[in-house]
A and B are shown apart, each in its own frame.
Chain A
Amino acid sequence: MKTLKYTLFFALATLLMAAECTKEDDEFYNAVYTTIPGLVNVETQTNYQVNDILWLNTNTFSRYLTEPNQSTPLDVFKTTNASKFSFLYSIEKKTSDNLWVSVANENNFIIESGSVSINNYITAFAIYNQVNEKYEFRGGIKLTEPGQFRIGFFAGYNGENFDVISDSSTSSTFLTIATTANSLSSGYYTFTVN
Chain B
Amino acid sequence: MKKLFFLLLMLTQISFAQNDNAFDLGKNEIKFDLVSLVALGKIHVSYERFLKSDFSIGISGILNESNSLENDYVNGKSRTLEDYQIIPFVRYSLSKSQVRYYFIEVFVSANSGTYHELERLIDENNNGYYLSVDKKYSDFAIGGAVGHKFYIKEKIGIDIFVGMGKNLFSSGESPKIVSRVGINLGYRF
Contact = CB atoms under 8 A, between A and B. Distances in A.
Interface in A8-40: 9, 12-14, 16-17, 19-21, 23, 25-30, 32
A171 interface: yes
B128 A67 contact: yes
A12 B144 CA distance: 10
Given A9-B104, A25-B80, A72 B9 contact: no
Interface in B2-51: 2-3, 5-6, 9
A171 B128 contact: no
Size category of the B interface is 35 or more
Interface in A76-97: 78-79
Contact of B120 (A26, A29, A70): A70
A171 B162 CA distance: 32
B175 interface: yes
A73 B127 contact: yes
Contact of A16 (B117, B131, B145): B145
Interface in B138-189: 144-146, 162-164, 175-177, 179, 181
Given A12-B104, A74-B127, A173 B132 contact: yes
A28 B116 CA distance: 10
Nearest to A170: B76
Contacts of B144: 12, 16
Contacts of A17: 2-3, 5-6, 162
Given A20-B181, A75-B123, A29 B79 contact: yes
Given A17-B6, A26-B80, A75-B123, A5 B94 contact: yes
Contacts of A171: 75-76
Interface of B: 2-3, 5-6, 9, 75-80, 94, 102, 104, 116-118, 120, 122-123, 126-132, 144-146, 162-164, 175-177, 179, 181
17 contacts: A6-B94, A6-B102, A9-B94, A9-B104, A12-B144, A16-B144, A16-B145, A20-B181, A23-B164, A26-B79, A26-B80, A27-B79, A30-B76, A75-B123, A75-B128, A170-B75, A175-B130
Interface of A: 5-6, 9, 12-14, 16-17, 19-21, 23, 25-30, 32, 64, 67, 70, 72-75, 78-79, 170-173, 175
Given A14-B6, A29-B118, A30-B76, 20 more contacts: A5-B94, A9-B94, A12-B144, A13-B6, A17-B6, A17-B162, A20-B162, A20-B164, A21-B3, A25-B79, A26-B77, A26-B79, A30-B132, A32-B130, A64-B127, A72-B128, A78-B123, A79-B130, A170-B76, A173-B130
